[in-house]
Chains A and B, each alone.
Chain A
Amino acid sequence: MIQIVQQLLFVAAIGLTGYLVTKRARFIYRNIKLGKDLEIKGDSNKRFANMFRLAFGQQKMFDRPVVGLMHFAVYAGFLLINIEVLEIVIDGLTGQHRIFAAVIPSGIYHFLASFFEIMALLVTVSCFIFLIRRNALRIPRFHMAEMKGWPYRDANIILYAEIILMTMLFSMNAADAVLQTMGNSHYPAIGTFAISQFLVPIFSGLSETTLVAIERSAWWVHIIGIFAFSVYITYSKHLHIFLAFPNTYFAKMEPKGEMTNMDSVTNEVKIMLGMPVETTDTGDSDEMPTFGAKDVQDLTWRNVMNAYSCTECGRCTSQCPANITGKKLSPRKVMMDVRDRAEEIGKNIDSNGGTFQDDGKSLYGDFITKEELMACTSCNACTEACPINIDPLGIILDMRRYVAMEESSTPQEWNMVFNNIENNQAPWAFSASDRFKWGEELRTQEIKKTVTEKENA
């Protein structure tokens, strides 16, 4: 009877988790699609290679080797322990404890279970060190203005949760090992495991009923924790564990220095210059395009996906020359702002029956200020630093396009540059007719023709 109740509860828990995760995933997918369409260019083999190297192999994380190793341990632990989670899920649904022990040779099962425990220990140790790094060591990038409140808690919550989940795994296995020695038919004899064997003495004096209660409780906390975790990460910066893969696959493959061409401008410029225009006009000229980006809808879906993939690690910001010298710009904040605004727009759409109702706000102005945008040197340090190829620079430059072309509010010095380029063909106020003076002067300089002499000799 208890068994049936447990199974029903489990089905309810897994169903609820599935429902919440799916709902949230659809919300995020729709929000990403708020961004404009984007033609994905470049060889798909190279894209796969990129994904394999950066997301699966985490190559850039090893730019800082010690942290890279710990991060890799947590990641590998996460991937591998899922095999054990699968067994737990089958247990929950069918009531069949340790089903894999019945289907694979016990030696291999024992080895695998021990191996997972070693991974779990590495995860635990890494999480402890990460907690110390975040909270005790004052690493500046973890304590900047944009890291107050939720972003700060988010990082810690995950680390605490992982430690609790792993502790439950050890407790469950240790209690299980003691139950095995009592000949409880529900607990097949496999023996103790690599790490939890050290917890066995704590449990060995307890009664069988208590042990079953401990084992089941740890089991439930572990699996419910994992379910809760699955829902939680869809709200958290830890979404990167999934989005890192598409994010690296779809990442910009063009040279970093290349800015995207605005085709909508090309036609107009051609008309201005009296050049022939290819009339690929599809007739949907009912609306004037916005030049540059003011809000999330003006960005591309890749920009928004970047924002949902961002882990807020701040490596971009710690390399940003503007930020290093105390300016307001922080590429990480730009990504966090895009995500926050996309969430806000998404909620607005959902509460207004599927259409966005103007809320008088926009990404530019309410989230990202002109001062931040103007401080960027477009040096690409942020894009180089990102372990998963997020491109804050593309967003910054698109918003500058809005400032220049829609708002016409670029700094006065830049307006002078624009005038000079238009009138003098140079950003400085020199006369275009003096452009070749340097060459004409040089032509009067005598040189020794040593090379020619040698050749003639």
Chain B
Amino acid sequence: MADTNFLKVPTMAEMVEQGKHPEVLFWVGCAGSYDDRYKRVITAFVKILNEVNVNFAVLGPEESCTGDPARRAGNEFLFQMQAMQNIEVLNAYEIKKIVTACPHCFNTIKNEYPALGGNYEVMHHSQFLQSLINEGRLSVAGGEAFKGKKVTFHDSCYLGRANDVYEAPRSVLEALDADLVEMKRCKTNGLCCGAGGAQMFKEPEKGNKDINIERTEEAIGTGAEVVAVGCPFCMTMIGDGIKNKEKEKDVQVMDIAELVATSKGL
């Protein structure tokens, strides 16, 4: 038997062709599909899924924006057009369970698609990783990469306050034996990265500071070597903040999935 194999990233269309049905659909999102930095997060997650033999699939070319930024910017028409087309695709494939690394996709599909006929069990990848750990399918113990390293977790608004997911990402970080330090504004009191509500896509209004700078200063203030995030927008905003503060050498911004993959040497 060969020692090596190739990474599997099956699409739903291919699955159906082979008469198979995946355990879970991985909703990649636009950032994961196009943003170079965030592609590394998606890669890390795919590697984990391959490593523990999760029977998954992606929509691939059939995936489209969930419509979240359009809705938050006020364009309900565009949101519903997107949502209904996505729901049509998801329902055609009889999707039951979805995992996504983007809290905005997570929130929209989980909470807003049901009103338009899309009902699925939706998990954020931190919850999925936590369940893999809990079921014993994924073991992160023994990974030395982050043992005792100071890591702080930045709560995403759309994961935390919007959906009350605070513990899953933390329990994954704890499993890595990292030294988890909290920022003063965390969990329910977390401070936004500044990108939610479609702010990602425009210049901020006039003020005396950018929100991501305020947040980055707080993150750096903890003395953490790694700022862990669970959202593509947060990753960009905090990453920009770190560059602005010229701290790239001292502080890394990493997604939960990257931390797990790195600790497993994937």
Least CB separation from A439: chain B residue: B9
Task: Tell me if B7 and A443 are in contact (CB < 8 A).
Answer: yes
A222 within 8 A of B: no
B131 within 8 A of A: no
A360 within 8 A of B: no
B82 within 8 A of A: yes
Select one of B78, B107, B111 contacting A421, CB under 8 A.
B78
Which stretch (B172-180, B205-213, B222-230) binds chain A? B205-213
Q: Give A371-392 as 1s and 0s: 1 = Cβ < 8 Å from B's Cβ atoms.
A: 1001111111101100000000
B74 within 8 A of A: yes
Least CB separation from B69: chain A residue: A427
Task: Tell me if A273 and B81 are in contact (CB < 8 A).
Answer: yes
Q: Please indicate the chain B residues that have their CB under 8 angstroms from the CB of A291 in the complex.
A: 76
Q: Please indicate the chain B residues that have their CB under 8 angstroms from the CB of A275 in the complex.
A: 84
Query: In the bound complex, how far is the Cα of B109 from the Cα of A255, in angstroms?
Result: 13
How far in angstroms is the closest Cβ of chain A from B159? 9
- A254-282 contacts to B, CB under 8 A, are 254-259, 261-262, 265-266, 268-270, 272-273, 275
Task: Tell me if A448 and B198 are in contact (CB < 8 A).
Answer: no
Query: In the bound complex, how far is the Cα of B72 from the Cα of A451, in angstroms?
Result: 43
Which stretch (B15-23, B27-35, B142-150, B247-255) binds chain A? B27-35
Tally of A interface residues using CB under 8 Å: 81
Task: Tell me if A261 and B198 are in contact (CB < 8 A).
Answer: no
Q: A273-B85, A326-B208, A377-B157 are in contact. Are A413 and B203 (CB under 8 A)?
A: yes
Least CB separation from B67: chain A residue: A421
B92 within 8 A of A: no
Q: Please indicate the chain A residues that have their CB under 8 angstroms from the CB of B119 in the complex.
A: none
Task: Tell me if B208 and A435 are in contact (CB < 8 A).
Answer: no
A447 within 8 A of B: yes
Q: Please indicate the chain A residues that have their CB under 8 angstroms from the CB of B96 in the complex.
A: none
How far in angstroms is the closest Cβ of chain B from A436? 4
Task: Tell me if A448 and B3 are in contact (CB < 8 A).
Answer: yes
A403 within 8 A of B: yes
Q: Which among A326, A375, A401, A447 has the highest number of chain B CB atoms within 10 Å?
A: A447
A428 within 8 A of B: yes
B133 within 8 A of A: no
Query: In the bound complex, how far is the Cα of B84 from the Cα of A259, in angstroms?
Result: 16
Task: Tell me if B211 and A325 are in contact (CB < 8 A).
Answer: yes
Q: A381-B161, A410-B75, A447-B6 are in contact. Are A325 and B69 (CB under 8 A)?
A: no
Query: In the bound complex, how far is the Cα of B76 from the Cα of A437, in angstroms?
Result: 30
A348 within 8 A of B: no
A322 within 8 A of B: yes
Task: Tell me if A433 and B69 are in contact (CB < 8 A).
Answer: no
B214 within 8 A of A: yes
Q: Please indicate the chain B residues that have their CB under 8 angstroms from the CB of A425 in the complex.
A: 63-65, 82
Task: Tell me if A456 and B1 are in contact (CB < 8 A).
Answer: yes
Query: In the bound complex, how far is the Cα of B199 from the Cα of A397, in angstroms?
Result: 13
Least CB separation from A404: chain B residue: B74
Query: In the bound complex, how far is the Cα of B132 from the Cα of A63, in angstroms?
Result: 35
Query: In the bound complex, how far is the Cα of B3 from the Cα of A452, in angstroms?
Result: 10
A93 within 8 A of B: no
A417 within 8 A of B: yes
Task: Tell me if B206 and A327 are in contact (CB < 8 A).
Answer: yes
- B197-245 contacts to A, CB under 8 A, are 197-211, 213-215
- B153-212 contacts to A, CB under 8 A, are 157-158, 161-164, 188-192, 194-211
Select one of A272, A321, A427, A434 contacting B192, CB under 8 A.
A321
Task: Tell me if A417 and B34 are in contact (CB < 8 A).
Answer: no
A400 within 8 A of B: yes
Task: Tell me if A321 and B202 are in contact (CB < 8 A).
Answer: no
Query: In the bound complex, how far is the Cα of B111 from the Cα of A259, in angstroms?
Result: 8
Select one of B30, B63, B73 contacting A418, CB under 8 A.
B73
Task: Tell me if B70 and A326 are in contact (CB < 8 A).
Answer: no
Task: Tell me if B198 and A265 are in contact (CB < 8 A).
Answer: no
Query: In the bound complex, how far is the Cα of B201 from the Cα of A413, in angstroms?
Result: 7
Query: In the bound complex, how far is the Cα of B51 from the Cα of A272, in angstroms?
Result: 44
Query: In the bound complex, how far is the Cα of B65 from the Cα of A422, in angstroms?
Result: 9
Least CB separation from A372: chain B residue: B205
Task: Tell me if B65 and A257 are in contact (CB < 8 A).
Answer: no
Q: Please indicate the chain B residues that have their CB under 8 angstroms from the CB of A436 in the complex.
A: 11, 33, 58, 60-61
Q: Please indicate the chain A residues that have their CB under 8 angstroms from the CB of B50 in the complex.
A: 447
Query: In the bound complex, how far is the Cα of B9 from the Cα of A410, in angstroms?
Result: 38
Query: In the bound complex, how far is the Cα of B4 from the Cα of A237, in angstroms?
Result: 70
Task: Tell me if B58 and A439 are in contact (CB < 8 A).
Answer: yes
Q: A439-B9, A445-B7 are in contact. Are A378 and B205 (CB under 8 A)?
A: no
Task: Tell me if A421 and B204 are in contact (CB < 8 A).
Answer: no
B52 within 8 A of A: yes
How far in angstroms is the closest Cβ of chain A from B52? 7
Q: A257-B162, A275-B84, A404-B75 are in contact. Are A378 and B196 (CB under 8 A)?
A: yes
A402 within 8 A of B: yes
Q: Please indicate the chain B residues that have their CB under 8 angstroms from the CB of A405 in the complex.
A: 74-77
27 cross-chain CB contacts under 8 A: A254-B111, A255-B162, A257-B111, A257-B163, A258-B111, A258-B112, A261-B80, A261-B112, A266-B116, A273-B84, A325-B207, A325-B211, A379-B197, A381-B189, A381-B192, A397-B197, A411-B202, A413-B201, A417-B70, A421-B70, A421-B82, A425-B63, A427-B201, A445-B7, A446-B4, A447-B266, A451-B53
A residues sitting closer than 8 Å to B (CB atoms) are: 254-259, 261-262, 265-266, 268-270, 272-273, 275, 291-292, 319, 321-322, 324-329, 371, 374-381, 383-384, 397, 400-405, 410-411, 413-414, 416-418, 421-422, 425-428, 430, 432-440, 442-453, 456
Given contacts A397-B197, A438-B32, 17 further A-B contacts (CB under 8 A): A259-B112, A380-B162, A381-B190, A381-B191, A383-B161, A384-B189, A405-B74, A414-B73, A421-B65, A421-B78, A426-B33, A426-B64, A428-B34, A438-B33, A445-B6, A446-B4, A449-B3
* The 7 A-B residue pairs with the shortest CB-CB distance in the complex, in nearest-first order: A257-B162, A404-B74, A378-B197, A326-B208, A326-B207, A400-B74, A379-B192
